[in-house]
Amino acid sequence: VVVLVVFCPTASAAPKGKKYKVGGPDGWRVPPKADKEMAYVKWASNITFFVGDSVEFVYKNDSVIKVSKVGYYHCNETAGIGTGPGPRDGKTLFILDAPGFVYFASSNLRHCKDGQKLLIKVLDPEQRPPASASSPLEAPTDPSSPEPGPASTEHSSAMGGPFVAPLARAMAQAATLVLACFM
């Protein structure tokens, strides 16, 4: 039995999520009339959001609040869920802390009706695609080498018996934790 203890210099070994500025360089504003129905839909459709990610709203003489589904579709909420009215200038950061749909709108009802609202689908971190082949823990593959066969459920090896695969897996997980500490 091998026991591995890893201490990280940070509070958490889990990698931090990504931070997105809503609306890109233009920030959070009333979209042009010609684009009012699709401006923030287009912006959000280019991003896959996961639990742990955050969205930052940057605005002037405006606000943002987290609203219910009804508030999003009917633009009838002026106080955010658990937050009260939004500030009038500045930045507001929301951490996406659960999978599902999250709704945001300007607390100015006219702005909301003019398209200043955002719907985000947040995925569970386990739905993240696997790391790319350039991951530091994976060696590049030789295109001339044969494809690996199906995964085996048998854990025996010519050099070490039935515990080699579980030990290798534990070491790989420990290496991942150590790397996460320094990212």
- Full-model pTM: 0.61
Q: What is the pLDDT of residue 82?
A: 63
Q: What is the pLDDT of residue 98?
A: 96
Residue 50 makes CB contacts below 8 A (sequence gap 6+) with: 17, 18, 96, 122, 123, 124, 125, 127, 128
The model's pLDDT over 36-69, given as tens digits with 9 standing for 90+, comes to 889 999 999 999 999 999 999 999 989 899 999 9
Residue 11 lies in a domain: no
Q: State how far Cα 30 lies from the chain centre.
A: 25
Residue 134 lies in a domain: no
Residue 13 lies in a domain: no
In whole angstroms, how far apart are CA 43 and each of 38, 47, 54? 8, 8, 15
Distance CA 135, CA 61 (A): 44
Q: Is 101 exposed, middle or buried (0-12, 13-18, 19+ CB in 10 A)?
A: exposed
Q: What is the pLDDT of residue 131?
A: 61
DSSP 46-86: T--EETT-EEEEEESS---EEE-HHHHHH----SBTTTBSP
User: Residue 77 sits in a domain of what CATH number?
Assistant: 2.60.40.420
Looking at every residue in the chain, the average pLDDT score rounds to 72
Residue 83 lies in a domain: yes
Amino acid at position 181, single letter: C
pLDDT above 50 for 125: yes
When divided into structural domains, the chain yields a total of 1
Q: What is the pLDDT of residue 1?
A: 45
**Which of 53-57, 115-119, 127-131, 135-139 is predicted least confidently?**
135-139
Residue 173 lies in a domain: no
Instruction: Determine the average pLDDT of the residues in 28-38.
Output: 91
Q: What is the pLDDT of residue 172?
A: 43
pLDDT band at 3 (very low <50, low <70, confident <90, very high): very low
Residue 14 lies in a domain: no
Percent of the chain with pLDDT over 70: 58
Amino acid at position 132, single letter: S
Residue 147 lies in a domain: no
For 80, the domain range is 19-126
Residue 153 lies in a domain: no
Instruction: Determine the average pLDDT of the residues in 19-44.
Output: 93
The answer to whether 98 touches 91, Cβ cutoff 8 Å, is no
The model's pLDDT over 67-90, given as tens digits with 9 standing for 90+, comes to 999 999 999 988 777 665 666 778
